[in-house]
Amino acid sequence: MGTHDTKRTLIVNALRVALVAALFGVGLVVYRHLPQAESAEGARSSQPTVLRIVLRAEGLDAGALAETKVELFSFDVAAARREFDDERRYGQRFEDFVARRMGARQQPVSARFDPDGETTVAVAPGRWWIHATLAGADELSWRLPVNVAGREQTVELTPSNAYTRTKSF
> Residue 137's domain is classified under what CATH number?
2.60.40.10
Are 6 and 52 found together in one domain?
no
Based on the structure, what is the number of domains in the chain? 2
CA gap 160, 79 in Å, rounded: 22
Domain containing 141 equals 45-167
Are 113 and 50 found together in one domain?
yes
| Domain-located, residue 50 | yes
- Quick check: 108 and 74 in contact, CB under 8 A? yes
CA gap 75, 97 in Å, rounded: 13
Burial label, 86 (beta-carbon count in 10 A; 0-12, 13-18, 19+)? exposed
pLDDT (tens, 9 = 90+) of the chain, 169 residues, equals 567 789 999 999 999 999 999 999 999 888 888 776 544 444 444 688 899 999 887 666 556 666 788 888 887 777 777 888 888 777 788 778 777 777 766 778 889 888 888 899 999 888 898 988 887 656 778 888 999 988 999 999 888 888 776 655 4
Instruction: Give me the pLDDT at residue 50, please.
Output: 92
Are 99 and 149 found together in one domain?
yes
Angle subtended at Cα 139 by Cα 169 and Cα 154, rounded to the nearest 5 degrees: 165
Ordered DSSP codes for 96-165? HHHHHHHTTSPPPEEEE--TTSEEEEEE-SEEEEEEEEE-SSEEEEEEEEEEE-SSEEEEEE-GGG-SEE
| Domain-located, residue 40 | no
Map residue 30 onto helix, strand or coil: helix
Instruction: Give me the pLDDT at residue 64, please.
Output: 64
**φ, ψ for residue 38, nearest 5 deg:** -75, 135
Instruction: Give me the pLDDT at residue 93, please.
Output: 82
Instruction: Give me the pLDDT at residue 152, please.
Output: 92
CA gap 116, 120 in Å, rounded: 12
CA–chain centroid gap for 121, Å, is 16
CA gap 101, 105 in Å, rounded: 9
Are 121 and 61 found together in one domain?
yes
Instruction: Give me the pLDDT at residue 8, please.
Output: 92
| Domain-located, residue 149 | yes
